[in-house]
């Protein structure tokens, strides 16, 4: 280090140490601001737009490979697939017929009971462009962004179940946090008995875990977890995970329950983004805020 700037014949600007200190402080400042205040989202958007072409370039080989792969399908393969799809279509039609009747019946019953109607969710197909290259995070990026009307908070699923949630939106792409991301929570209930809970991502293993379930809770290995729809974000009744392992140790108040996601969280290329147009009535405000008069207004809105 001393050799570098002991004798300086030429002007080289500030020494490496000074530069390191300057840029480290700048990084720490940015880290602090980004982590605490989220002021930098617009800067991030601008930079993301700049970086976007390079990202597309990086995913080009994979895209070309898929295209070529799709182009070189044999005819027998196509006929087989067509046959399978036709069969599936026929069985699906039968199910759909029943579903329509049930839906109508359900709507009538709900009207009779004066319960709020379930609205239908609009779906948008998006393709995964690339996976965040950070080992710590379980995130993917898809090719639809705010230009296509995607908003942060929308739910993402595939044909089997919940994949995750849109967490950040750029003009042409959006970032999806997978359910397996650490501390990503989904409100669920057990399909067998309706027991409600919240499932969290494990983060490092690609599994999910049910925390804070008492040791004697009625839950078995192989139980299916579906969304409860209580939060208003996730539509009710969509499969999320399957219970794979339960450890009941009476020494601890809670059982250790490991679940694996039902959807192809790590290998799915095409995803469905749900637009949640159904808005829940505003949550009644906490008791401490009532003196301001806002609490009463909030409650009045909930009345029919």
Binding residues (CB under 8 A) for another protein: these are 1, 3-4, 12, 16-17, 19-20, 23-24, 26-31, 33-35, 40, 43-44, 47-48, 51, 54-55, 57-59, 61-62, 129-137, 139, 141, 168, 175, 182, 203-204, 266
Residue 212 CB, shortest distance to another protein, in Å, is 19
Judged by beta carbon, residue 26 or residue 79, the one nearer another protein is 26
Nearer to another protein, 175 or 223 (CB): 175
Q: Of the two residues 57 and 112, which places its CB atom closer to another protein in the complex?
A: 57
Q: Which is nearer to another protein, 65 or 212 (CB)?
A: 65
Minimum CB–partner distance for residue 288 and another protein (Å):
29
User: Minimum CB separation from another protein for residue 195, in Å?
Assistant: 29
Find the shortest distance in angstroms from Cβ 235 to another protein: 26
- As measured in angstroms, the least distance from the Cβ of 70 to another protein is 17
CA 178/CA 180 separation, integer angstroms: 5
State which residue, 24 or 97, has the beta carbon closest to another protein. Answer: 24
């Amino acid at each position: 280090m001393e050799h570098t700037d002991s004798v300086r014949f030429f002007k080289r600007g500030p020494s490496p140490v000074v530069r390191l200190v300057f840029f480290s402080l700048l990084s720490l400042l940015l880290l602090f601001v980004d982590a605490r205040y989220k002021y930098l989202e617009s800067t991030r958007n601008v930079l993301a737009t700049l970086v976007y072409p390079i990202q597309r370039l990086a995913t080009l080989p994979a895209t070309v490979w898929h295209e070529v792969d799709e182009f070189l399908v044999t005819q027998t393969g196509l006929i087989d697939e067509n046959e399978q799809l036709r069969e599936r279509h026929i069985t699906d039609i039968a199910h759909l017929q029943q579903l329509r009747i049930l839906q109508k019946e359900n709507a009538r019953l709900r009207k009779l009971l004066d319960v709020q109607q379930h609205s239908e969710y609009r779906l948008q197909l998006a393709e995964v462009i690339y996976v965040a290259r950070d080992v710590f995070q379980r995130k993917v990026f898809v090719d639809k962004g705010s230009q296509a009307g995607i908003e942060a908070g929308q739910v993402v699923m595939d044909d089997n179940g919940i994949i995750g949630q849109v967490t950040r939106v750029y003009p042409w792409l959006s970032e999806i946090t997978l359910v397996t991301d650490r501390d990503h929570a989904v409100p669920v209930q057990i399909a067998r008995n309706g027991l409600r809970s919240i499932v969290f991502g494990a983060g490092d293993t690609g599994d999910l875990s049910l925390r804070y379930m008492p040791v004697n809770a009625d839950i078995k290995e192989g139980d299916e977890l579906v969304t409860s729809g209580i939060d208003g974000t996730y539509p009710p009744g969509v499969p999320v995970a399957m219970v794979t392992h339960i450890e009941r140790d009476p020494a601890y108040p809670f059982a250790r329950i490991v679940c694996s996601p039902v959807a192809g969280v790590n290998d799915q290329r095409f995803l469905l983004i749900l637009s949640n147009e159904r808005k829940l009535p505003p949550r009644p405000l906490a008791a401490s805020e009532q003196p301001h008069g806002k609490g009463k207004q909030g409650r009045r809105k909930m009345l029919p």
